[in-house]
Amino acid sequence: NAGVTQTPKFRILKIGQSMTLQCTQDMNHNYMYWYRQDPGMGLKLIYYSVGAGITDKGEVPNGYNVSRSTTEDFPLRLELAAPSQTSVYFCASSKTGSNQPQHFGDGTRLSIL
Amino acid sequence: EDQVTQSPEALRLQEGESSSLNCSYTVSGLRGLFWYRQDPGKGPEFLFTLYSAGEEKEKERLKATLTKKESFLHITAPKPEDSATYLCAVPPSPPTWGSQGNLIFGKGTKLSVKP
């Protein structure tokens, strides 16, 4: 039972490079989320989606973009990477909205040098 | 402002030494409180959802309780394998951004259980 799968697990980027973090879920969940987790800080929401074709900004969206063309996939795009984007990125999904638990992938550890 | 505060930041216990972790929250109209466990290098793993004051949930050595302003995660006779960071989260007060599904997370309590 795969759940939420994120790739890659680790990545080092140079300043100004771009990349896409992949996230896929096999639970047929409608809602998907991207969070970042910095040392000593709580998880911060970057973007979320309530279904295919529908996305919206979270608390810290600057420097990121998302798309949701299918129920299963929710990629996160970093354009013009900056050192401030060094973080651990988690993708999560839930069946419906805020009264349902979210299920997380194991994260992508991204360093920007 | 919606906020989730967890205490203590870190807790060291001897194996078998019971204790409690605290999660206090300030949101309007609580729509659920979630507890997660996070192991190093892994994503948060869902443990419990509590929806109303007085509610309790149990899983092995863990018991979560909820009042109108806080939740406790009680750990009874912990074992070294209970060592992890425990996260608490609540949905924000609507109509805040992401209120359709977002969660506000605390910074977590890092629990270490020594044999």
pLDDT in tens, B70-115: 999 999 999 999 999 999 999 887 765 444 567 889 999 999 999 9
**Residue of B31, B102, B105 lying closest to A42 (CB–CB):** B105
Q: Which chain A residue's Cα is nearest to B97?
A: A58
The answer to whether A88 touches A108, Cβ cutoff 8 Å, is: yes
Mutate which of B3, B6, B46 to disrupt the A interface (most A C-beta within 10 Å)?
A: B46
pLDDT at B111: 98
Rounded to 10 degrees, the C-alpha dihedral B113/B51/B68/B72 comes to -10
pLDDT at B60: 94
pLDDT at B59: 94
Q: How many CB atoms lie within 10 A of CB A106?
A: 18
Residue B52 has pLDDT above 80, yes or no: yes
The SS3 call for residue A63 is: coil
Task: Report the pLDDT averaged over residues B29-38.
Answer: 91
Q: How many CB atoms lie within 10 A of CB B81?
A: 10
Rounded to 10 degrees, the C-alpha dihedral B17/B24/B109/A84 comes to 180
Q: Do A59 and B103 touch (CB under 8 A)?
A: no
pLDDT at B31: 82
pLDDT tens column, B62-71: 999 999 899 9
Whole-number percent of chain B with pLDDT over 90: 79
DSSP-derived secondary structure for chain B: --EEEEE-SEEEEETT--EEEEEEEE-SS---EEEEEE-TTS--EEEEEE-STT-EEEETTEEEEE-SSEEEEEE-S--GGG-EEEEEEEPPPTTSTTTTT--EEP--EEEEEE-
Whole-number percent of chain B with pLDDT over 70: 94
Q: Which residue has the higher pLDDT, A69 or B29?
A: A69
**Residue of B45, B102, B105 lying closest to A98 (CB–CB):** B102
Q: Do B98 and A104 touch (CB under 8 A)?
A: no
Mean pLDDT by groups of 10 residues along chain A of 113 residues: 92 96 96 93 91 91 96 96 96 85 95 95
Residue B16 has pLDDT above 70, yes or no: yes
Q: How many CB atoms lie within 10 A of CB B8?
A: 12
**Pairing status of strand B62-66 against strand B10-14:** unpaired
**Among A32, A6, A3, A4, CA closest to A89:** A6
Instruction: Round to whole Å and give the CA distance between A52 and A99.
Output: 20
**Residue of B41, B100, B105 lying closest to A97 (CB–CB):** B100
pLDDT at A24: 98
